[in-house]
Amino acid sequence: MAASHSVELLSMGFSVLGGLGIFLLGMKNMSEGLQAIAGDRLRKLIGAVTENRLSACGVGTLVTCLVQSSSVTTVMVVGFISAGFMTLTQGMGVILGANIGTTITGWILVLKIGKYGLPMLGLAAFFFLFSRNDRVRYTGMAIMGVGMVFFGLELMSAGFKPMRTMPEFVAWFGRFQATSYLGVLQCALVGCLLTCIVQSSSATLGITMGLAMNGIIGFPTAAALVLGENIGTTITAILASIGRSTDARRAAYFHTIFNLLGVLWITALFPFYLAVVTKIVGHDPGLVVVEAGAEVYPHIRSGIAVVHSGFNIVNTALFLPFLPLFAKVVTRLVPETAVPVEQHLTYLDARMISSPAMGMQESHRVLLRMGEKTQEMMRLLRQTLTSKERDEPTVQRIFYLERALDVIEKEVTEFVSHILSNQLPSSLIVEARKQLRMANEFESVGDYLEKILKLHLRKQENNIWFSYDGWDGVLNLHDRLEAFLGTVTGALREGRIGILPEIRTDGAAITHHMKQSRASHLERVGTEEASPLASLIFTDMLNAYRRVKDHGINIAEILAGQK
């Protein structure tokens, strides 16, 4: 008897575990398929966030519907705020939208697919495996994901079913009943802890639905669990904000405060909230119907989905007008650090790898930051070249920026290489390879600017002076290249792929200027106006500037798709 009971428990555990695994894999495939179909439109959507709260909220909702994870969206927001590409208010608006977008999972589960999930999975798999058209393949992948979600849910439901006949499980679940305010809070806490452990509110939502569909937990208990799951999902943003900028931590705190306050006021009015949900559904979500000799709950999924969506929509509507006030609150809760620490190694979060389109947008913004750092190096180098004395803080800042570019290039390479290991449409593969090459080009620009600085310092240490014409030529060349790099970075920022003819024209003008400077220098060498060491340093500086120009042209060619 005991052996039979153990076998039944083991079978039940395997069914639930296997169903949960297939459910999560289905969510991943559905997300990747939708992102691949959306392609560049998703990346443009992310870049369209404005200070308008409704606009930011709308972007957050749409992006989260596509990536099927509010956690990924909030991690992206934390990264963008930390990198300075998004303001705190913008990020807060996107986070509110992400909370609405994540409720789409519940509505997908409401669809009457059930036993058709498996044949849907199989049919879509053929399109994904054998079609050569990217759009058809990834549409098949998304549909295959939907099929896996429902097949996984059916397996979990089948695994939970025997629990109804096991007194020990009935007694254990009987401890968690949302029949009182304390009971509601207790159930919400369980939902919160489970989501913190699983790190996926979609998974805990699926488990909750599986338990509720089998009558193991009642509708009020399931509703309280769902409310708690909203708090549990905020742990992802908190973890992502560790070591980030102050504003990034403020955004993560806001996410937690938003969900916590929402749960507190809704649990205080819990019976009234459930009454409103029942009216929206049109039936009692806990209604039991006997079909083919078995008890079923035809409205329980709809009820849970309404609870989830209602919570986030109502709270977003309440919070949105007061975002500036909440920005002040979190600013007080998380004060500015005494010594601001520049973040340049933590923009790229490994959790973004599972969302290639969003990850590519994040790495694109890091490339822009690399371009900005090379421009800062040019500006500081100009300041050093015109200084009569060695400006140690400026010199050290240039060396620091060069080291930072080295590390950022390494991290971009690792991050984008991991993204390339995913199933990607050809457009994203091309973009990923472009980013790898551009990161290398920007790092090389930093190397040559550092070389010019070292040559200048060597000139100072040896008390070497160039002629007025020679030095004026170097400074003029520097100014031209500074503007040249600014144009290249601006084109990258704006996505102007037609900038190449202008860049090549400017590059040719710089090359002509460089040749004139070299010819004039050779004349001075012939008249012994320049010492051999001065001549060597001057020539090496010209060569380094030429390489900076070459790498700038390379970036423009990569952007235009010609390299």
pLDDT of residue 433: 92
Asked if the model's pLDDT at residue 192 lies above 60, the reply is yes
- Give residue-wise pLDDT tens across range 95-122: 888 888 888 888 887 877 767 778 888 8
Domain positions in the chain are: 169-334, 352-559
Phi-psi region of 418 (alpha: psi -120 to 50; beta: other; left: phi over 0): alpha
Separation of first and last alpha carbons in the chain: 71
CATH number of 352-559: 1.20.58.220
Strand, helix or coil at 295? Answer: strand
CA-to-CA distance for 7 and 17, rounded, in angstroms?
15
CA-to-CA distance for 178 and 223, rounded, in angstroms?
9
Average pLDDT over residues 443-447: 94
Torsion sign over Cα 115, 118, 121, 123: negative
CA–chain centroid gap for 415, Å, is 12
User: Position 349: which residue type?
Assistant: D
Asked if the model's pLDDT at residue 13 lies above 60, the reply is yes
Asked if the model's pLDDT at residue 345 lies above 50, the reply is no
Continuous segment of H or E residues that includes residue 289: strand 289-291
* Token duo for residue 168: 């020990």
- Give residue-wise pLDDT tens across range 194-234: 888 777 777 888 888 888 887 888 889 989 999 988 888 88
- Give residue-wise pLDDT tens across range 55-65: 888 888 888 88
Average pLDDT over residues 156-163: 76
Asked if the model's pLDDT at residue 346 lies above 50, the reply is no
Q: What is the DSSP string of 395-455?
A: HHHHHHHHHHHHHHHHHHHHHHHHHHTS---HHHHHHHHHHHHHHHHHHHHHHHHHHHHHH
Asked if the model's pLDDT at residue 470 lies above 60, the reply is yes
Strand, helix or coil at 296? Answer: strand
pLDDT of residue 340: 45
CA-to-CA distance for 334 and 247, rounded, in angstroms?
8
CB proximity list for 418: less than 8 A, separation 6 or greater: 350, 353
Burial class (CB in 10 A: 0-12, 13-18, 19+), 389: exposed
Q: How confident is the model at residue 339 (pLDDT cuts 50, 70, 90)?
A: very low
Q: How confident is the model at residue 131 (pLDDT cuts 50, 70, 90)?
A: confident
Question: In terms of Cα–Cα distance, which of 51, 22, 258, 52 is closest to 144?
Answer: 22
